[in-house]
Amino acid sequence: MENCIFCKIVAGEIPSQKVYEDDTILAFKDIDPKAPVHTIVIPKAHIASLNEVDGDNLKDIAHLISKIPQIAKEQGVDASGYRVVNNIGRDGGQTVAHIHFHILGGRALQWPPG
Ligand code: AMP
Ligand code: ZN
């Protein structure tokens, strides 16, 4: 989608540090990491947020979620543990309107979030 920074990363128009890629999803390092491991996982197809997941695109999201443990393992946090975060909309703190899942780990994470 035009002017979507994550679509531009998928298209190679904006560089990223890729950590996993297949036909339908891409994982790359967050540009402003909040933990020693901070990876962003996205579907290559533009979906604005979890609110827009439907019967047509659910397959890509299901595939994405199924790959998170493998990506976490490759990032070295499978045994120590990690958090998967999906922010939705204004109050959820979503700043990029292309659905993405954060993988955070490498330190003890606090709960609850601010
Ligand atoms: P959210 O606040 O949930 O929408 O998360 C968006 C995340 O994308 C933030 O953690 C940003 O640091 C990250 N981000 C924004 N632009 C880029 C980029 N060009 N490459 C990698 N991560 C990015
Ligand atoms: Zn997009």
The CATH number of the domain holding residue 9 is: 3.30.428.10
Contact at 8 Å (CB) between 98 and 88? no
**pLDDT of res. 2:** 85
Q: How far apart are CA 21 and CA 63, in angstroms?
A: 12
10 in any annotated domain = yes
DSSP string, 62-102: HHHHHHHHHHHHHTT-TTT-EEEE---HHHHT--SSS--EE
Does the beta carbon of 14 sit less than 6 angstroms from any atom of ligand 1?
A: yes
Instruction: Give residue-wise pLDDT tens across range 3-60.
Output: 999 999 999 999 999 999 999 999 999 999 999 999 999 999 999 999 999 999 999 9
Q: How far apart are CA 9 and CA 48, in angstroms?
A: 15
Residue nearest ligand 1's atom 13 by CA: 30
**pLDDT of res. 1:** 78
Domain count, the chain: 1
40 in any annotated domain = yes
111 in any annotated domain = no
Range of the domain at 64: 5-105
Task: Please give the average per-residue pLDDT across 64-68, as a whole number.
Answer: 98
Ligand 1: which atom is nearest the Cα of residue 34? Answer: 10
44 in any annotated domain = yes
Does the beta carbon of 3 sit less than 6 angstroms from any atom of ligand 1?
A: no
**Torsion angles phi and psi, residue 53, rounded to 5:** -75, 130
Contact at 8 Å (CB) between 58 and 99? no
Confidence of residue 114 (pLDDT cuts 50, 70, 90): confident
Q: In the annotation, is 100 catalytic?
A: yes
